[in-house]
Amino acid sequence: MSNIRVDSKGDGFTSISNNFIDFYMGDANGDFVKVYLYLLRACSEGKEIEIASIADSMGCTEKDVCRAVRYWIGKDLVELRHGELGELIGITLLSPKIREVSRVRDDLSLDTIGVSISVSGKKVSEESEESYEETPSAPRKKTPTAEQLSALQTDDNIANLIIEANVYCKRNITQKDVNTLIYIYDQLGFSFDLCEYLLEYCAMIGKTSFSYIEAVAKNWYENSITTRDEAEEFSVRYFGLYSRIMKELGLSSKRQVPAPVEREYIDKWYGKYGFSDVIIIEACRRAVMKNPSGSPFAYVDGILTDWYNAGVKTLSDVEKKDESHKTKAAAKKTASKAPSRANDFPQTDMSDKLKEIENFYLSKVDQDD
């Protein structure tokens, strides 16, 4: 298929909207943000693109790109354009606003991979802007009333999930845990199959507290994961990161899976810090070069914490930080070589002074004799 030109409508998208930064970017997965920014660039340049090319440029899979586009469709920042036969022919970028939206799950299927698409931008009408209001990415958990709880616990799926939770967690879960399970099933809209895999996954990685299970569920929700297959693929990618880290640190010959304390480090880098795989692997490589015999995870954590505090997001940011460090180091080295006040006098003058003092004391000795 021939490439399709990328154009824009209205004001275009040559810069990032402040509303996107203020109300959308912070809640989104880092890869989703990268895909959105790539679309903005394509729109502003009239660039012809393919989903495969986005995946290659962003260092992610084609499924990740599709999932990202679905996510932004759900946020009303993107809409798809189809041809007469229903084929995908383009993507339109909408003006970022704060509004209540429903998640769109099926607008972009993997059948569209490989086709060239055009990206355009347009404003949302003023009439629709009036109805916008801020909502969280995942609905806030509400404690069910006694009546609701009674009704929900008669649901066979809930009853079976409670039994499975007892097995996976190796304990009888509390009523608070049950409320969290109901929140995931009822408010987040997870299917029984997805809830079941959620419990299985958390048990597999040794995290069976329901606060952690809820956090994973919200993360999947915000990544538009709606099926067991999508969750498994997402998990494989995450464990793939484990494997790559162990390999980069030279530990894969001993073991493939990091220890619990090491997984806590990785969870922090990937979850709290929000670093991409590329940034984490770069930190691992530097740790091995600079501290080959030390504690690798602690050293990597030191590098990534420093980058996080410095606002590093990309490899380009890392390079800029390196250059800044080199400049400061060079300036410090130059300053250390600068002459001190004691050395401000020419060497010859200082030598003459010492000679005069020596002669003075010698003359005094002769007089005494």
Give me the torsion for CA of 247, 250, 252, 258, rounded to 10°.
-90
- Concatenated DSSP letters of 197-261: HHHHHHHHTT---HHHHHHHHHHHHHTT--SHHHHHHHHHHHHHHHHHHHHHTT-TTT-SS--HH
Q: Using one digit for the tens of pLDDT, what is the confidence trace for 284-315? A: 999 988 887 777 899 999 999 999 999 998 88
Has residue 355 been placed in a domain?
Answer: no
Has residue 357 been placed in a domain?
Answer: no
Q: Whole-structure pTM over 0.85, yes or no?
A: no
Residues 183 and 90 in one domain: no
Q: Quick check: 32 pLDDT over 60? A: yes
Residues 77 and 175 in one domain: no
Give the count of domains, the chain.
3
Residues 298 and 245 in one domain: yes
**pLDDT range class, residue 195, cuts 50, 70, 90:** very high
Residues 172 and 117 in one domain: no
Average the pLDDT over each of 117-121, 230-234, 319-323 and give the range with the smallest value: 117-121
Averaged over 125-141, what is the pLDDT?
48
**pLDDT range class, residue 220, cuts 50, 70, 90:** confident
Residues 252 and 281 in one domain: yes
Residues 253 and 293 in one domain: yes
Whole-angstrom distance, CA of residue 354 vs CA of residue 343: 14
Has residue 299 been placed in a domain?
Answer: yes
Residues 84 and 157 in one domain: no
Has residue 1 been placed in a domain?
Answer: no
Structural domain for 205, as ranges: 146-218
Position 113 scores a pLDDT of: 39
**pLDDT range class, residue 353, cuts 50, 70, 90:** low
Residues 120 and 48 in one domain: yes
Residues 180 and 212 in one domain: yes
Position 119 scores a pLDDT of: 61
Residues 80 and 176 in one domain: no
Has residue 344 been placed in a domain?
Answer: no
**pLDDT range class, residue 53, cuts 50, 70, 90:** confident
